[in-house]
Amino acid sequence: MSEAPDRNLALELVRATEAAALAAARWVGRGQKEEGDGAAVDALRLLLGTVRMNGIVVIGEGEKDEAPMLYNGEVVGNGSGPLVDVAVDPVEGTNLLAKGLPNSISVVAIAPRGALFDPGPAFYMDKLVVGPEALGKVDIDATTADNLAAVAAAKGLDVSEVTVVILDRPRNKATIQAIREAGARVRLISDGDVAPSLMTALPGTGIDVVMGIGGTPEGVITACAMHGLGGEIQARLAPQSDGERQRLAEAGIDIGRKLTLADLAAGDEHFFAATGITQGDFLRGVRYTATGAVTHSLVTRSRSGTWRTIEAFHRWDKLMEISKVEYA
């Protein structure tokens, strides 16, 4: 008889992302991103405290002096269970939330203690994210055209049928031009590259590649998800100011190093949970009913290679009896 599998912590983490999404959803489209993010932080932190783990926040809301909760270095979990690193983004896409735009999500990822890349003073990285079909067939050191040709061949497409998501920022201008010159389709986004990165590895989304310079924390979170979804992320730190470059040098961090999936999230036991806040291309946003709300989430576990979508129906009267979170 085979050994019973260990506990799947992703199924506990999703309760935390659901709570954060429900709390933040009250602020969708109201133009107040700080309030929405604050509500999500409160709810996420409360529910993370019930998860059977001894966690340290490696990717959080900022240093202790800047963020009073879920700051880098904060201890989370109920204190028992495995020693883990924790990466959180209570609202990925705060501007999307404030404007009521698609693909704002709440995410949590965990890995064994010491497994997650600590970005330190590195705020930005250049990323290349692909799904399982193109695993091992791309290289961030290759040209944009060569990588797009490799993805197209791996997926049985013409390059003109490949869709690349990239943040619409001046720093990505050259890459955007190179994608267009290669003949691929460009989908520009204003914020939040975790959601489209997930979609590169999920069926039927129409997203094939994520490229360009975005946030370093989002890259680490994406790596945890890619372990479970079978996709790949490669990255290289891309400081955007002399000050950031100097801080990285002082920290002894090599900005020229190519970071692989294993560099960003080492080991073989990673858990990831994401819940939609606003309506998205894959995860549906929070939808209200007469008695509560419905959430839609994605959870992954790398060791089993299993990913699930969870549609949950929440009743305000029951939730308010057992939780301090003001959902309604």
Which residues are documented as binding site for substrate? 92-94, 124, 169-171, 191-193, 215
Among the listed residues 209, 293, 274, 323, the one whose alpha carbon sits nearest the alpha carbon of residue 13: 274
CA–CA separation, 322 and 299 (whole Å): 24
Judge contact between 237 and 249, C-beta under 8 A.
no
Cβ-in-10-Å burial (0-12, 13-18, 19+) of 81 comes to middle
Identity (one letter) of the amino acid at 52? R
Q: How many helices (H) and strands (E) does the chain have?
A: 10, 13
- Quickly count: other Cβ atoms within 10 Å of residue 326's Cβ: 14
Among the listed residues 139, 151, 131, 146, the one whose alpha carbon sits nearest the alpha carbon of residue 182: 146
| Token representation of residue 8 | 């799947």
Give how far the C-alpha of residue 239 lies from the chain's centroid of Cα atoms, to the nearest Å.
20
- Quickly count: other Cβ atoms within 10 Å of residue 108's Cβ: 33
Radius of gyration over every alpha carbon of the chain, rounded to an integer in angstroms: 19
Judge contact between 274 and 105, C-beta under 8 A.
yes
The annotated binding site for Mn(2+) is made up of 37, 61, 89, 92, 218
The annotated binding site is made up of 37, 61, 89, 92-94, 124, 169-171, 191-193, 215, 218
